[in-house]
Amino acid sequence: MSSARRAEVRGKNSRIIWFVVLILILFLSGCASRLDVRADHYLFEGKSTHWKARLDYSYKQVFYNNQETKRLEYDSITWSQLYLCFQGPEEKALDVSWDLKSQTLGASGSGFEFQKGRWTVASSSTGRKEHILDRSEEVTLTIRWEGQVETLSLKVKD
C-alpha cells in the first residue's frame, strides 16, 4: 500500500475515533449533568485556661440531575482535622479524652498524652457525609484530663 493510501486510511480512522469519543461524551454528559459544585474551607478556633484547639474543616458538594430518577441529587465529601495544644502549668497532660459536638458533627477520642506547648493531631477524618458543617454552627469541645474538665467554644476565624 502506498504512503498516500496509508495516510488516507489513518485520517478516516482518526475521524471515526473522534466521532465515537464525541458521542460517548455527549451520552455521558446527558446521563448525569452536573449543575453546581460547592466547596469551602473553615478554620474553627477556641481556647480555655489550659487548652487551645483548632478544627480544620473542608467540604465539596457536587449537585447533578439524575436522569434515571429525574431528581436533583448530590454527592459530598468532607475532611476534618482536630488539633489540640496543652497550655497548662504542667509539662504534660496525661490520659486526655475529648468530645466534639455541633448540630451536624460529633466525634470523640481518648487515651492521648499532650506535651505542653506542642500542637497534636487528636483526630483526622475523611468521608462521604450527608450533612455539611456550616461556618456559623456552634462547635463545642469538652476536654477531660487528670480529673479536670474544660469546655471550649470553637468559632470560625475570619
More confident residue, 88 or 51: 51
C-alpha pair distances (Å), 124 with each of 56, 58, 109, 150: 9, 12, 11, 21
**Is the model's pLDDT at 8 over the cut of 50?**
no
Better-predicted residue by pLDDT, 7 or 130: 130
| pLDDT at site 49 | 94
Question: Pairing relation of β-strands 51-66 and 32-47?
Answer: antiparallel
What's residue 73's pLDDT?
A: 81
pLDDT digits (tens, 9 = 90+) for 107-129: 899 888 888 888 888 888 877 76
Domains and CATH numbers, the chain: 33-156 (2.60.40)
Q: Could you tell me the pTM of the whole model?
A: 0.71
Beta pairing partners, 134: none
Share of the chain above pLDDT 90, in %: 34
**pLDDT (tens digit, 9 = 90+) per residue, 43-84?**
999 999 999 999 999 998 888 888 888 888 878 888 889 999
Quote the CA–CA distance of 66 and 120 in Å, as a whole number: 43
pLDDT at residue 13 in the model: 56
